[in-house]
């Protein structure tokens, strides 16, 4: 009898562990050669700039924000330092100033991650606002010959809680070049 109860307990714990690890139901964003999955329950806001696609994912009743920025121009790895100076560094500086504007003293530290399986450089800007610690984690890489910048904003508790959503976005993002337009065949 004890063996049966122990086996039943092991089976129940294993089932709970497997169900906790399954991916949440996801939606798919696909537009202008950019695609990625994100969990249900997240609000997606899109803006198309002249040079970029800017997408923001937020969660109701949370200060959590995932931002996806994809530059429209093609780039080679040799040109990434120029792109970093041109628009990534000013973006990082703007985030630091935003924390300072809220009365925080942000600290920056280099960080790394992966975007679509590609190694990504990054920076972790951490600060405490009213006793609540949080961060802006910014990562960039070339994916499909385009610069992709992913940002995770929020209080540390939400960042920890919504890590599966972050991982879903950063691992499923794909950049595809538009298919060339078919040219009509000449008539004989």
Q: pLDDT per position in the chain (188 positions), as tens?
A: 544 434 444 444 444 444 444 445 899 999 988 999 999 999 999 988 888 899 999 998 899 999 999 999 999 999 999 999 999 999 999 999 999 998 999 999 999 999 999 999 999 999 998 899 999 999 999 999 999 999 999 999 999 999 999 999 999 999 987 655 555 666 65
CB neighbour list of residue 44: distance below 8 Å, 6 or more residues apart: 27, 29, 38, 55, 56, 57
Domain spanning 24-175: CATH superfamily = Mog1/PsbP, alpha/beta/alpha sandwich (3.40.1000.10)
The H or E element that residue 122 is part of is strand 118-129
Domain residues of the chain, as ranges?
24-175
- Give CA–CA dist 113/119, Å, rounded: 6
Match 């939400």 to its residue by tokens: 158
- Give CA–CA dist 137/59, Å, rounded: 17
Taking the whole predicted model, whether its pTM rises above 0.95 is answered as no
């Amino acid at each position: 009898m004890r063996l049966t109860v122990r086996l039943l307990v092991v089976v129940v714990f294993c089932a709970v562990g497997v169900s906790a690890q399954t991916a949440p139901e996801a939606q798919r964003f696909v537009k202008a050669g950019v695609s990625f999955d994100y969990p249900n329950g997240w609000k997606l806001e899109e803006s198309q700039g002249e040079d970029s696609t800017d997408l923001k994912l937020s969660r109701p009743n949370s200060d959590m924000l995932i931002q996806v920025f994809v530059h429209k121009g093609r780039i080679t790895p040799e040109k990434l330092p120029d792109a970093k100076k041109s628009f990534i560094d000013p973006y990082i500086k703007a985030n630091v100033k935003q924390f300072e504007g809220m009365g925080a003293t942000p600290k920056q530290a280099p960080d790394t991650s992966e975007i679509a399986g590609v190694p990504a450089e990054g920076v972790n800007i951490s600060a405490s606002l009213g006793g609540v610690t949080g961060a802006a984690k910014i990562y960039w890489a070339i994916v499909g010959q385009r610069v992709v910048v992913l940002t995770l904003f929020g209080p540390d508790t939400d960042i920890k809680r919504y890590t599966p959503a972050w991982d879903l976005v950063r691992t499923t993002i794909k950049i595809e070049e538009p298919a060339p337009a078919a040219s009509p065949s000449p008539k004989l």
